[in-house]
Amino acid sequence: MTTPITTTEPTAGTAGRGRALGLGLFALAALAATPALAHTGHGDTFSPLEGFLHPITGPDHLVAMLCVGLWSALAGGRSVLWWPLAFVAAMVVGAVVAHDAVEVPAVEMVITGSLIAVGSLLALGIRPPLALGAVVVAGFAFFHGFAHGAEAPDQNFWFYVAGFSLSTALIHIIGIGLGVGLIRTDRRILGRVAGGAAAALGVVLLVA
């Protein structure tokens, strides 16, 4: 008596998710290549859409947020949920502080430094405890949020905050999706390579 040999093939759902993640990443990268709206003012014409675009059109914001999502996925466990949530929450706090005209030094330098730091942690495969990782990402997120809030309008402030909070969450989800894909295909090493590339980009932005 022989046992029938069965083969498994990627399901349409798995392939569809991979294509969706690829298209989403491509779209964000294309937006990041547009003029840096995230670092210019637009008078009183701010809208939720401009808040949404703010993290996407700044490569330092975009890549750092992707790294947070990817890092949380590769760390696994509750980090997948709590690190991105800590980032978004601290970012909103930073925006409120900036909107209240509180002076915080070296904001842009810390933002660039966050790219180097998170990229390096990802590249080295470091997986800190849940609380420590949340503190790290929240600390950097405060400065990202401060940069957003410094350019937010007096009117429609919370709509603007909602816009950049939503786009940040979506960027994190894409990063998480990429991380999950790397885990399922046993290609975690590519996540470390991506972290190294992100850290290198941070160095370039820092010295530019």
In this predicted model, what pLDDT tens digit does every residue of 28-52 receive, in sequence order?
444 444 433 334 444 455 567 888 9
- How far apart, in whole angstroms, are the C-alpha atoms of residue 15 and residue 20? 9
- Provide the pLDDT for residue 47: 65
Residue 4 lies in a domain: no
Global pTM value: 0.78
- Provide the pLDDT for residue 155: 83
Residue 75 lies in a domain: yes
Number of other CB atoms surrounding residue 173 within 10 Å: 15
Please give the torsion angle defined by the CA atoms of residues 91, 95, 100 and 104, in that order, rounded to the nearest 10 degrees. 70
Tally of domains in the chain: 1
Residue 18 lies in a domain: no
Contacts of 162 (CB under 8 A, 6+ apart): 48, 51
Contact in structure between 64 and 188 (CB atoms under 8 Å): no
Q: Which portions of the chain are predicted below pLDDT 70? A: 1-47
- Provide the pLDDT for residue 145: 96
Residue 137 lies in a domain: yes
- Provide the pLDDT for residue 103: 87
- Provide the pLDDT for residue 46: 57
For residue 149, the enclosing domain spans 58-207
**Amino acid found at 19:** R
User: What SS3 state is found at 124?
Assistant: coil
Number of other CB atoms surrounding residue 108 within 10 Å: 14
Work out the mean pLDDT of the chain and round it to a whole number.
84
Residue 22 lies in a domain: no
Residue 140 lies in a domain: yes
